[in-house]
Amino acid sequence: MDGFVPWPEEYAHRYRQSGYWLDRTITEVMDERFRRFASRTALVCDDGRKFTYEDLGRLSTRLGLHLNRLGLRVYDRVLLQLPNTAEAVISYLGTLKAGGVPIMALAAHREAEIGHFAQLSEARAYLAPAVIRGFDFQEMAEALRGLAPSLDLVLVSGGPARPGNHRIEELLADPIEERVDAGVLPRPDPDLPAVLQLSGGTTGIPKLIPRTHNDYVYNFLRNAEVCELDEATVMLIPIPQGHNFALACPGLMGVLAGGGCEVLSGSPSMDHLLPLMERHRVTHFVGVPTQILALLNHPKRLEHDLSALRCILTGGSKLNPEVALRIKPELGCDVQQVLGMAEGPLFWTRLDDPEDVRMFTQGRPQSPGDEFRIVNPGTGEDARPGEMGELWCRGPHTIRGYYRAAEHNAKAFSPDGFYRSGDLVRLHPSGNVVVEGRIKDCINRGGEKISAEEIENHILAHPGIANCAAVAMPDALLGEKVCAYVILHPGKDLTLPVLSEFLLNTRKIARFKLPERLEVVDAFPLTNVGKINKKALRERIAAECQVASGGS
């Protein structure tokens, strides 16, 4: 695939020799599980539908055959933008069976993001909901076709398809496998990209992350071992299914690898999740720290039987130690923390770690084949033990380059192949890492990473704005939110609702990226080299938030 950076042959040979790379596709691994655990429940959705392993195997094959019939070919890129429904799971598995490469977009993305992904990847197909909360995705698909002429196949779920489009539910109701031999489905090269994940978006619109069959299979199989998943596992996933965390860390594929059951929720609300946890005897709950805090603090939590809960798996942002320490006494279950990136690195605490390690660190590499360095950003030398530095990673499931991003790759990867994560960490005496922050200008809103640069570019398109700076402001529930500092052109005025309407309707960005506070100023504080002093702006808004909340 043009624009894909492979592992050097020396490393590919090493990973095969060590047994990390199995030269099997994701489809081959999943199909083996669909046969082995055929009668077991694999997926439960919050609309009441249940699917066995046999069901998932049959329906994903059916959709794969339909996609091939409609013209999808091996290595064609497919924009996959479905909410947390059974159709999202089946569409992912079916796209892989058709030989396509799904791009795991979020349901919240809009034309700015989806259009960029479509153009960059030359996507052939787009799978999306018909309508969500009044937003018409088929109307957006027409606009996307104007941006990306390669996009000639649109499939929708949850509503009727417009002329020329196809309804996923209708394809799943048509047993094409009774007319067409599934042997016609292609087998992709395990060394080539299987999935295009999205970066955290620290610089501009997120980059596309090419995860190969070999590296992603090892990623979720090893992750399932580290998290000790088995046939008794019932994992509740209330975060977007397309997220790397929810898909393969260990996520859907880790659960299926062990013969367990995924409970997929379309709502992150704890009012909705608590009854699911009780009804389905959930053993593992996947959530970002804000959701863990919401679970602990929910006023009706004690009214629900959560006795089956064995472990909480949390990542996306750092879990506050004070929150971590409450989990065992109040919920009676363990917790595993992860520092993970869609680029591949995964650092996990282990269930048998000492308590101080489980509570106060974010883990160590899950694979024996992983290498990491903690590098002083100023000198480029390895930091001293206990000293803070940038985390660099290299390993059998860490990419060697973003997709079609040669210029950015020169900055994001060292000459010897280490991924420069942008995370500031220090080494704990246990050998685990402790997350201390970010080098790059990134806002972490409840686990969703928002590029300040991307938001600033959209804000600067407003005709009334002369300059702007987007910074993180503290939030008790989400950790951080976006605060926009702006300097207006003379004679102009601006309110937050007006800015939000412009960003949503004119710039067409995802709603979760919207600034949630607007500060109009006459000038920005500057550093000694004349750059906007964002550190000073962050401190200013943090102080104002503290005063507003009654702090001193």
pLDDT band at residue 201 using 50, 70 and 90 as cut-offs: low
pLDDT at 466: 85
Helical packing angle, 251-258 and 26-36, nearest 10°: 40
Q: Residue 338 in contact with residue 432, Cβ under 8 Å?
A: no
In single-letter form, the type of residue at position 533 comes to N
pLDDT single digits (tens) 462-489? 999 988 999 999 998 898 999 999 999 9
Q: Say whether domain 216-438 belongs to CATH 3.30.70.1450.
A: no
Q: What is the pLDDT of residue 223?
A: 98
pTM: 0.86
**Segment 513-538, tens digit of pLDDT:** 999 999 999 999 986 556 688 889 99
CATH 3.30.300.30 fits 442-548, yes or no: yes
Largest CA distance in the chain: 72
Distance CA 487, CA 524 (A): 8
Q: Per residue in 213-249, pLDDT tens?
A: 999 999 999 999 999 999 999 999 999 999 999 999 9
CA distance linking residue 16 with residue 9, whole number of Å: 11
Architecture of the 25-189 domain: 3-Layer(aba) Sandwich (3.40)
Q: What pLDDT sits at residue 205?
A: 78
Residue 255 is inside which H or E element, if any? helix 251-258
Q: Please give the structure tokens belonging to residue 409.
A: 């790759």
Domain ranges of the chain: 25-189, 216-438, 442-548
Is it the case that residue 163 has pLDDT exceeding 50?
yes
Asked if 511 contacts 500 with a C-beta cutoff of 8 angstroms, the reply is no
Would you say the CATH fold of 216-438 matches that of 25-189? yes
Residue 202 pLDDT exceeds 70: no
pLDDT averaged over every residue in the chain: 94
CA 96 to chain centre: 18
% of residues, the chain, pLDDT over 90 = 85
- Within 13 A of 363's CA, how many CA atoms are on the CB side? 25
Decide the pairing of beta strands 419-427 and 389-394.
Answer: antiparallel
Each residue of 100-149: pLDDT tens digit?
999 999 999 999 999 999 999 999 999 999 999 999 999 999 999 999 99
The pLDDT value given to residue 5: 98
Lowest model confidence (mean pLDDT) among 19-28, 193-202, 500-509: 193-202
Backbone angles phi, psi at 42, to 5 degrees: -100, -35
Going by pLDDT thresholds of 50, 70 and 90, the confidence category of residue 552 is very low
> What confidence tens digit (pLDDT) does each residue in 277-306 have?
999 999 999 998 888 988 999 999 999 999
Strand, coil or helix: 455: helix
Which of 9-13, 169-173, 468-472, 499-503 is predicted least confidently? 468-472
